Amino acid sequence: MAGGAASGGSTQGDTYKEARNWLLLPAWVTLSILVLLPVLLMLVYSFLTKEFRGGVIWEFSLGAYDQFFFDRGLFGDEPPKLEWTYITIFWRSIWQAGLATILSLLIGFPTAYYIATRSEKVRPLWVFLITIPYWVNLLIRTVSMRFMLREEGPINNALVWSGLADSPIQMINTNFAVQIGLFYSYLPFMVLPIYAAVERYNFSLSEAASDLYASKWTTLRRIVLPSVRPGVVAGCILVFVPSMGAFLAPDLLGGAKNFMIGSLIEEQFKGNAGNWPFGAAASMILLSLVLIILTLYARQQARANKAGA
Amino acid sequence: MAARKFDVRAYPGFAYITALCLLILYVPLMVVSVYSFNSSESIVVWEGFSTRWYADVFVGSESAKFKVAARNSFFIAVIAATVATTIATFAATAMIRGGKFRLRALSFGLISLPLMVPEIVTAVATLIFFSSIGFERGILTILLAHIAFCIPFAYLPISARMQGIEDTYEQAAMDLYATKRQAFTKILLPLMMPGIISGFLLAFIISLDDFIITNFVKGAGVETLPTAIFGAVKQGIKPNIMAISTMLLAFSIVMVTISYFVSKSGENK
């Protein structure tokens, strides 16, 4: 997903050229039936009519998208006005994901840079340390963040004990908690691609800049950052995209007032007031947004490769 | 080159931020692990060390529920990871040892599709798919969804490993009259083993830890460990949940560590 080498790896010989299609068949069949077909079916469902107790009626309707964007009054006969409820939820998701991405970048970039400038022997160990939390159950990590941010949790205890706050600060069930949760969930995704980029960076460029009397920070801003930009962009995408569709962090840390797209979608399928076409439409809108971001990224990547070649 | 008064590579403060980064990543997990050994009923005050909540998980009032959930989770994870790893191994062989072919980019797009589509969208799509063909939701639907979702996670380490193995080994075997099948099972497969094991372990953890997809495609009353934990947390964080979480956390860390060392040991061969 990240990086320009996203083509499945380069080929290494053609020993099994004849068996190729047979070898790929299980993957094709499984993924086409269980991922690709369902996504297409979801697109179809988003244009169907809702049935009141979950499920759909097979009748074409733009109702789901209409409900998302327009308000036609209680009986649906008033002139359409823009419906802000869902647009606000989408906007909040983008905003929260954006803040989490910026926070991850502020912590992740220096970390990645620091790790990439360690000796070659200890680098894999550092990377491993950063990776471990990613493999720990996201649910458990979110629960532990909830535990930390609670009113009587360790952070508040420390704040009160040290005198930084007079009384516990309300952190749980706020937008702030969701941002922290998203940041915490996807921070390793920011560090790894930036690390890979800095590791490839030619440090004699920094030396040259320094010889020409550039200050350290000028060198960082004008020389290092432009060179490792692809890694930074990849990291930002890897944090932003899953943050936007996140369900656990808003649900467990944000409470009912800080709804994001993930919760909106979940409600349509798990709740009693399920509206499947609407849920499918919201999923389609989320998916389109993600595909637009990934396409822009791929195009920029291709242009960068061309320029580099 | 003249010796510099300072290291151009080093930036002041970066080391502190790195330390901060590691603290942020690890402190919440450590705090929960420590509190899982609290002897108190309440999660607020520390009353001394005890393993009573671990005992509670195994013999307490909710233990039956957790046992079933754990059995489901492990059953699904073992089968999903095995099937996904097998599919991924074949696919990697075709992709890395199949020369250049027209459908290659498309095939890779399909393999990495579960990584590009947001998980909640995959979950919704899978639910709609099963429901539209009238497939009753239960363990089997979870299993099928997990197999598909795990394929890219198994594929990446396997294909990375295979890229590092030159095809001269199989060529040599075939020069000595090994069939292609023999060259695959006797030469290529053993050489790929570190990648396959590490792919299997990653797929296993992904399946074991998955909440979002499972939550959508599980039938009523069917629980895996993450959905059982989520259900319990909704009622408030209780100490026995912290004990289960700590065990699951330790298990994942052990698996990832094994995977790390297996793939590392492969590099030195």
pLDDT at site B223: 93
Neighbours of A29 (CB within 10 A): 11
Q: Which of B124, B165, B184 is closest, CB to CB, to A280?
A: B124
pLDDT at site A129: 92
Cβ distance of A148 and B27 shorter than 8 Å: yes
Residues of B in contact with A297 (CB under 8 A): none
* Domain ranges, residue A208: 83-268
- A3 inside domain: no
Rg (CA), chain B: 23
Q: Which of B94, B119, B209 is closest, CB to CB, to A245?
A: B119
Residue of B1, B5, B16, B18 to mutate, testing the A interface (most A Cβ within 10 Å of its Cβ): B18
Residues paired with A49 in a beta bridge: A57
Q: Which chain A residue is nearest to residue B11, measuring alpha carbons?
A: A216
With H, G, I as helix, E, B as strand and everything else as coil, classify residue B13: coil
Cβ distance of A136 and B29 shorter than 8 Å: yes
The whole-angstrom distance between residue A98's C-alpha and the CA centroid of its chain comes to 9
Residues of A in contact with B26 (CB under 8 A): 133
- A67 inside domain: no
pLDDT at site A19: 85
Q: Is the ipTM of this complex over 0.85?
A: yes
Residues of B in contact with A139 (CB under 8 A): 209, 211, 226, 229-230, 233
Residues of A in contact with B121 (CB under 8 A): 39, 42, 245, 265, 283, 286-287, 290
Q: Which of B24, B209, B264 is closest, CB to CB, to A184?
A: B24
Distances (CA, A) of B116 to A184, A293, A295, B170: 20, 11, 11, 34
| Residue B122 and residue A241 in contact, taking contact as beta carbons nearer than 8 Å | no
pLDDT at site A2: 35
Say how far apart CA A101 and CA A138 lie, in whole Å: 17
**Which residue ranges in chain B fall short of pLDDT 70?**
1-6, 266-269
Count of structural domains, chain A: 1
Taking 3-state DSSP, the helix, strand and coil percentages for chain B, each rounded to the nearest 5, stand at 75, 0, 25
**What DSSP state is assigned to residue B49?**
B
pLDDT at site A287: 95
| Residue A172 and residue A151 in contact, taking contact as beta carbons nearer than 8 Å | yes
Residues paired with A70 in a beta bridge: A82
Neighbours of A33 (CB within 10 A): 13
Say how far apart CA A63 and CA B125 lie, in whole Å: 19
pLDDT at site B6: 67
Cβ distance of B226 and A207 shorter than 8 Å: no
**In this structure, is the dihedral angle defined by the CA atoms of residues B116, B117, B118 and B122, taken in order, positive or negative?**
negative
pLDDT at site A309: 52
Residues of B in contact with A209 (CB under 8 A): 8
- A152 inside domain: yes
Q: Which chain A residue is nearest to residue B30, measuring alpha carbons?
A: A144
- A116 inside domain: yes
- A108 inside domain: yes
Q: Could you read off the pLDDT tens digit of each residue along chain A, which spans 309 residues?
A: 333 344 566 777 788 888 888 999 999 999 999 999 999 999 999 999 888 776 788 888 888 888 888 887 777 777 778 888 888 899 999 999 999 999 999 999 999 999 999 998 899 899 999 989 888 889 999 999 998 998 888 888 888 888 888 888 888 888 899 999 999 999 999 999 999 899 888 888 888 888 898 888 888 888 888 889 888 998 999 899 999 989 999 999 987 777 899 989 998 888 666 888 999 999 999 999 999 998 998 888 888 777 765
Tokens 């320009």, located at residue: A4
Residues of A in contact with B107 (CB under 8 A): 8, 24, 27-28
Say how far apart CA A149 and CA A174 lie, in whole Å: 10
Say how far apart CA B167 and CA B174 lie, in whole Å: 11
Question: What's phi and psi for A135, nearest 5 deg?
Answer: -85, -10
- A275 inside domain: no
- A191 inside domain: yes
Residues of B in contact with A41 (CB under 8 A): 125, 128-129, 132
Q: To the nearest whole angstrom, how far is the Cα of A80 from the nearest Cα of chain B?
A: 28
pLDDT at site B99: 83
Cα dihedral value A130, A135, A138, A142, nearest 10? -40
Cβ distance of A279 and B124 shorter than 8 Å: yes
Q: Report the CATH number that the domain containing residue A113 is assigned in CATH.
A: 1.10.3720.10
Interface of B with A in 171-190 (CB under 8 A): 171, 174, 180, 183-184, 188
Say how far apart CA A150 and CA A164 lie, in whole Å: 17
Interface of B with A in 46-85 (CB under 8 A): none
- A23 inside domain: no
| Residue B26 and residue A145 in contact, taking contact as beta carbons nearer than 8 Å | no
Q: Which of B27, B91, B165 is closest, CB to CB, to A27?
A: B91
